[in-house]
Structure 1
Amino acid sequence: MGCLAAAAVLTAPGTAHAAENLPPLQPLVQDLGNGTRPCGAAGDRSYVDEPPVLSAVLYDPTEDDRPAEGNFVHGEFEVWWEDADGAEQRLTHTTSDIPSGTAQRWQLPDDSVPANTVISWRVRANDGTAVSAWSSEGDGGVCEFVYDDVSPEKPVVTSPDYADDDAWHDGVGVRGGFTMDSPSDDVVAYRYRPMGGPRQEVSPAEPGGPATIRYLPESEGPESLTVEAVDRAGRVSETTTYDFLVASGRAPVGRWILGDAAGSATAAAEAGPAADAGTGVTFGADAPEGTALTTTAGLDGGDGAYLTPDAPVIDTGSTYAVSAWARPAATDRDMTVAGQDAGSAAGFALGLRTADAGPEWSFAVGGARVTGGAPETGEWAHLVGLYDAETGRAQLFVNGQEVGAAAEAAPGEDAGGAFQIGRVRTGDGYGDHWHGLLGDVRTYDRVLVAEERTGLAYRKPARLGHWSLENAPDGVSPERNGGTPLTLGTGADIYRKSDTCDPFLDPECVPDPEPLVGDGHLRLDGETGYATTGSAVVDTTDSFTVSVVVRLADAEPDHPMTVLSQPGEHTDAFKVRYEPSAHAWQLVMPQRDEAGAPETVVSQTAVADGGSGGGRRLAVVYDDATDRVTLYLDGQAAGAATASFAGSPLSSGALQVGRARDGDGWGEYLHGDVDEVQAYAGALRAGDIGLLGGGADLCFC
């Protein structure tokens, strides 16, 4: 009867009852850990560098007669091992009650766990009424770890290419092998850091074995490699420092400057064999300004537009680079700068290709091709095609900057045929002849590193004007090197400090403030004050740099004020102004010489000076080679201070100091002080910008 009554109570609808307590779930191996390492079950034991915190996530079923968050459970841990005499040693620990699903932890005492001994452990859950199965039972497993208290021995580093012997070894752009080997048999990784580079890691093929890396030196001089061995417990060895000397990069294996005398039938070679010139080649053409080249070769695009040494100069199965200055006379068809024959095709080809989106520079290796950049008719560009046999990648660089995406490439058929300038092998003949100018064609049997690529593409700026604004006799402030002066308009004058006040002789006199730079500066009244050269200074269609030191007279200007501008017919080609609504200096460049044309604006946040302080040094750089504009403030360019800019309209107007174009007139007059106005043809490098505004001319030697 008792059993029947109980059954009746349990099945009666709407009757309250107490559910039977369910035992906690068996802990799962994947929910257990030795510190930051896994449980180490099934023979895959963990190695640790200190007695670990054992952890286990334990669960009590939610079907118990209480909400899930009310299910509390504690863990019962067991740890055991055999001591040196073969006797089993055992430790146990019970944790506090905490909510189900929460990690339970036990920090093993430092003095209780022996080193270099296999430690086994397991855990079970207890909800105060029932216990789970042990984590080791059934489909579970015993967790194991070994506490390793000895760090590995420091590695020995050797290199057959860059020996540590106080001798210079080849060289920049040439990889060398470095082998790291620790005497310890449990090393699983080597951490290494080249001098000045990031820390990297490499693993040996098997624990305790050596590991070899390939390292590419990018600069000449003393180098070092610091290396540490890491064992399976994560312990790190003492550091080994391996010193070696890197020689300068090997000279080109082929170089044709193409600066030969007009009428020459052959291009002399600085390296490699001389190149015979086809009938479509004319020497004595223009050279890119700012380079060491004085003349180049013009190719007419016809069948005779080529030069060749009639011999190979590149081993296309190895690492190589090819570079040249190129100025296309047209961009409406495929053209080749340089290549090398490979049977009836080309082993590689550097040049120009047409595409639906417009012309692109191109570097093809085997069946792979990298394209990028935007060739422009009549504009010089420096090209580098690089194939790295160790990485299997082809890369293309235009004006020192990588373009396109590096391509996985294979040399294909041995390109043991003749090197070609201005054409490419196609079947039984040649095609894609170059139309335009070419200069300084080079080939290398190594990697051209970043500094070399940018150095080859660098065009030295030319100083166009430097106005120190120290004085202005008859309202004209001279250019310090005898160039076009700045003429001051109404509302502008030169401030010079008075020397009549000497506080030592007259304690009550107040000395005049110092000029911004040097002995004087330009002072503008904000209403009509300005200064102008009377004619254009910078060619805004090409790379240029302008700079100035400026101090605003107002702490809270009520309208935009322009410090430098140069107008076209309908708008300013560029202007540098302070925009009080944004509390920022801005560079504004329209995309066309039209009123209301879309503008590119880059900014640098700055608080207005309010007539005090040493002023702010501003510099504008337009780099036509990379199609970027940058605004520097006190020598720095923040992220928002640079932007892409495809091309600047021609500016035929005079350089203006202190005002900007406003419709058919002028506006945005600056109220403040101006000093050290400088202008350059070409884009100054970031490292040179910090030298502007100090009063001295820059020397690009």
Structure 2
Amino acid sequence: MTTPAGAVYAVCPDDGDGCGLGTGGPGVAGPFTFAKSPEDKDIVAFEYKLATDTAWTQVPATDTATVSITPALAGVQVLSVRALSKTGSGLRGETTAVRFKVAEGAGPSGLWHFDDAAPGSGARLATDAATTPGSRHDLTLHEAAADWSAFSRTGEGGRSLWLNASTGSTEPTEQTGYAEASGPVVNTQSSFTVSAWAYPTDDTASRTLLSQTGSDDRGFELTYSPELGRWVFLLHWYENGERKSVSADAEAAPGITLNAWTHVAGVYDADAHTLSLFVNGRRQGAAALLPAAALPTAVDGAFQIGRAGTTYGSYENYWKGGVDEVATYQTALPDTEVAKTAKLLSPYGPARAVELVASWQPQGSTGTAPLADTTSGYGRSLQLNGGASVVDGAIVLDGVDDSVTAPGPVIEDRESFTVSTEVELDTDAVNAKPDGYAAQIVGQRSADGSAWGLWYQRTGYQEYIDEETGELLTKPVGFWRFGRLNNDGTFTTVDSDEIASAGPVRLTGVFDAQEGKIRLYVGSAQNGADMAYTAVTGSGEFAVGKGFTNDTWGHYLPGRITDIRLWVGAAADATQIADMVGPGWDGASDRMSN
């Protein structure tokens, strides 16, 4: 059996790296040929797999066998090949490992950051940052209800497109603002991918994020459907004079989270004849197979943001809310590449784009008045409940019935986020609690329980001698946790490495939706390893000092909290968290800035 050879991908030399710059790209198929040696009379099949594949694929062996290999990742890839003999019960020969290098993806064919102008500036042009001069697809904002917003999925200093809604709230009447290219941006008869960050403010009607429909009414839509209660990626065509549609939809994922950022993408694979939908960088169900009669064509209609074309040449389904970082690709991105677009990676290092969506610091406040967010711009306030109050620059909670809440959800729980707080336990009050007692420091609830939270759990006590009185005393022993308290009383959390100190302690939790993992930082150190985690959708309040499990509130925290912040986006590491939180992030509230 000879080594495979490919026309798109070149096999790397056996000695050293020597793979060159790479060819093809993620999602780009290339032929590889397997050949028998003259002495290999008994070979009946070849089996092969990439390192990223979970199973071997078998192909019958003639003198040669040519297969199509589609790598999912850039960089050096390893293709393993082995022969299957007809002797015995089917013996497999030694595995040959062949290396080839995959070039980085070509990048988006269209990309709109919407950082062009300030809100209310009157500017009407959103520039295309992806393509080369002479082939750009700039967008024009239409109607007064299309404007710029200081909200941005890319963080401080960015902007976004805002359509048919006031920033942060829903307008009472329908409006018809949208953005439009001068013509088509993607060739819909070939493979393509479209994606965007969405900040919906209304779910009472169909809301189209992206579309491109021609004068023949063929084309695509990326839309939220209230009837189905989920996102759909639609492709329209004509059959026997009748307009028909096929959709890929998020069957397993409930609707949309209002007033929160969500990443949505649709992929059409012309070779496989399938549609796929992705929410927050993750595939939603199986790809939808188009019927043989569904023959997409290159449509002549203009690319639209915020509305969809109808069979009568008019438009409908106007979007309400924010849109940011819209991208188009003239290829069917593999799952791994879609996840990469949702991560919003920085080209300059491991850091990712994050947007501060809530920030509450009690310094300067006093008493029981609502605590305003004057930093992020999203404008949510915390309501102090029970006997909770602000004293000496801290929210003070008694661990009995005190709490602080904001209407939620504040973030989309299925999207990456980072939460950070500074807490100091009331050790006397915790000492009076039983072993196993768990208190939520900050978190967001689902319909019937905890969606996620930063927690303290008491696990026992320690005896110690009071240095002044010589008395034998006890103090509580417990651990910090980040994740979810399940309705059966068990935790799905990553835990602190050491026993929790009374504080003040800086706690930071990170959920990476694309990787499906959570991380916990205590002070400046990550505690524990990244832990696999399946998110649930939060539908209720954001709560400080209490938790909602088994359909009821409880898990009250006795202590002081001096800082609460949430970002959409997963901080990459401790260095990025330090940049996000600012000086004093490893403790000491009196050193806090921001």
Q: Same fold (TM over 0.5)?
A: yes
Cα separation, 1, equivalents of 2:554 and 2:288: 54
Q: Could you tell me whether the CA contact under 8 Å between 2:116 and 2:126 is conserved in 1?
A: yes
1:456 is aligned, of 341, 347, 350, to 341
Other structure's SS at 1:417 match: coil
Instruction: Tell me the equivalent position of 1:201.
Output: 57
**C-alpha displacement of 1:677:** 11
Deviations 1:259-294 (CA, angstroms, capped at 9, x unpaired): 332322332222332223322553321333454871
1:112-127 correspondence runs (5 A): none
Instruction: Tell me the equivalent position of 2:232.
Output: 362
1:307-318 correspondence runs (5 A): 307-318=179-190
Residue 293 of structure 2 corresponds to residue 401 of structure 1: no
2:128 is aligned, of 265, 269, 285, to 269
Q: Could you tell me whether the CA contact under 8 Å between 2:494 and 2:528 is conserved in 1?
A: no
Amino acid at match of 2:274: R
Change (3 A) 1:406 1:620: farther
1:465-476 correspondence runs (5 A): none
Instruction: Tell me the equivalent position of 1:646.
Output: 538
Q: Could you tell me whether the CA contact under 8 Å between 1:320 and 1:444 is conserved in 2?
A: yes
Instruction: Tell me the equivalent position of 2:299.
Output: 416
2:419 is aligned, of 528, 536, 545, to 545
Instruction: Tell me the equivalent position of 2:320.
Output: 435
Give the structure-1-normalised TM-score. Answer: 0.53
**C-alpha displacement of 1:638:** 6.4
Instruction: Tell me the equivalent position of 1:218.
Output: 72
Change (3 A) 1:541 1:645: same
Amino acid at match of 1:603: F
**C-alpha displacement of 1:244:** 1.8
Q: Could you tell me whether the CA contact under 8 Å between 1:546 and 1:619 is conserved in 2?
A: yes
Cα separation, 1, equivalents of 2:45 and 2:554: 71
- RMSD of the TM alignment (CA)? 5.3
Give the structure-2-normalised TM-score. Answer: 0.61
Other structure's SS at 2:104 match: coil
**C-alpha displacement of 1:319:** 1.5
Q: Could you tell me whether the CA contact under 8 Å between 2:82 and 2:96 is conserved in 1?
A: yes
Cα separation, 1, equivalents of 2:575 and 2:158: 30
Residue 47 of structure 2 corresponds to residue 175 of structure 1: no
Amino acid at match of 2:334: V
Deviations 1:650-686 (CA, angstroms, capped at 9, x unpaired): 33x5x69xxxxxx99997769xxx9x99965236759
Residue 207 of structure 2 corresponds to residue 349 of structure 1: no
Instruction: Tell me the equivalent position of 1:508.
Output: none
Instruction: Tell me the equivalent position of 1:297.
Output: 161
Change (3 A) 1:169 1:214: same
Cα separation, 2, equivalents of 1:392 and 1:644: 32
Residue 472 of structure 2 corresponds to residue 578 of structure 1: no
Other structure's SS at 1:454 match: helix
Other structure's SS at 1:230 match: strand
Deviations 1:489-547 (CA, angstroms, capped at 9, x unpaired): xxxxxxxxxxxxxxxxxxxxxxxxxxxxxxxxxxxxxxx999xxx98899973354348
Cα separation, 1, equivalents of 2:494 and 2:140: 60
Deviations 1:21-43 (CA, angstroms, capped at 9, x unpaired): xxxxxxxxxxxxxxxxxxxxxxx
Instruction: Tell me the equivalent position of 2:203.
Output: 331
Instruction: Tell me the equivalent position of 2:370.
Output: none
Other structure's SS at 1:311 match: coil
Change (3 A) 1:291 1:346: farther
Instruction: Tell me the equivalent position of 1:44.
Output: none
Q: Could you tell me whether the CA contact under 8 Å between 1:546 and 1:677 is conserved in 2?
A: no
Cα separation, 2, equivalents of 1:200 and 1:608: 40
Change (3 A) 1:619 1:449: farther
Deviations 1:210-257 (CA, angstroms, capped at 9, x unpaired): 333332223322223121222222344444332222111112112233
Other structure's SS at 2:33 match: strand
Deviates more, 1:375-384 or 1:402-411: 402-411
1:282 is aligned, of 143, 146, 153, to 146
Change (3 A) 1:600 1:363: farther
Cα separation, 1, equivalents of 2:335 and 2:223: 21
**C-alpha displacement of 1:186:** 3.3
2:528 is aligned, of 635, 651, 659, to 635
Instruction: Tell me the equivalent position of 1:141.
Output: none
**C-alpha displacement of 1:426:** 1.2
Other structure's SS at 1:173 match: coil
Cα separation, 1, equivalents of 2:160 and 2:495: 50
Instruction: Tell me the equivalent position of 2:332.
Output: 447
Other structure's SS at 1:242 match: strand
Change (3 A) 1:230 1:606: closer
Percent identity for Structure 1 against Structure 2: 22
Instruction: Tell me the equivalent position of 2:566.
Output: 681
Cα separation, 1, equivalents of 2:553 and 2:311: 61
Other structure's SS at 1:161 match: coil
Change (3 A) 1:266 1:159: same
Instruction: Tell me the equivalent position of 2:435.
Output: 559
Cα separation, 2, equivalents of 1:440 and 1:609: 38
Amino acid at match of 2:8: D
1:377 is aligned, of 258, 264, 275, to 258
Amino acid at match of 2:341: L
Instruction: Tell me the equivalent position of 2:272.
Output: 391
Unaligned runs of 5+ in 1: 1-153, 468-527, 591-597, 657-662
Cα separation, 1, equivalents of 2:319 and 2:586: 40
Deviations 1:522-573 (CA, angstroms, capped at 9, x unpaired): xxxxxx999xxx98899973354348999999999943445662499xx999
Cα separation, 2, equivalents of 1:390 and 1:285: 39
Which protein has greater RCO, CA pairs closer than 8 Å, 6+ apart? 2
Cα separation, 1, equivalents of 2:489 and 2:342: 27
Deviations 1:329-353 (CA, angstroms, capped at 9, x unpaired): 3211112221222433232111211
1:613-624 correspondence runs (5 A): 621=509
Cα separation, 1, equivalents of 2:556 and 2:175: 57
**C-alpha displacement of 1:690:** 12
Other structure's SS at 2:410 match: coil
Instruction: Tell me the equivalent position of 1:24.
Output: none
Instruction: Tell me the equivalent position of 1:593.
Output: none
Q: Could you tell me whether the CA contact under 8 Å between 2:418 and 2:568 is conserved in 1?
A: yes
Instruction: Tell me the equivalent position of 1:243.
Output: 99
Q: Could you tell me whether the CA contact under 8 Å between 2:408 and 2:539 is conserved in 1?
A: no
1:229 is aligned, of 53, 58, 83, to 83
- The size of the alignment, in residue pairs, is 455
Cα separation, 2, equivalents of 1:156 and 1:680: 55
Unaligned runs of 5+ in 2: 13-18, 166-173, 237-244, 344-352, 362-396, 412-416, 461-477, 522-526, 547-551, 579-583, 588-594
Change (3 A) 1:538 1:235: same
Q: Could you tell me whether the CA contact under 8 Å between 1:187 and 1:231 is conserved in 2?
A: yes
Instruction: Tell me the equivalent position of 1:159.
Output: 6
Other structure's SS at 1:191 match: strand
Deviations 1:307-348 (CA, angstroms, capped at 9, x unpaired): 322322222222210011222232111122212224332321
**C-alpha displacement of 1:434:** 2.1
Deviates more, 1:452-461 or 1:156-165: 452-461
Higher alpha-carbon Rg: 1
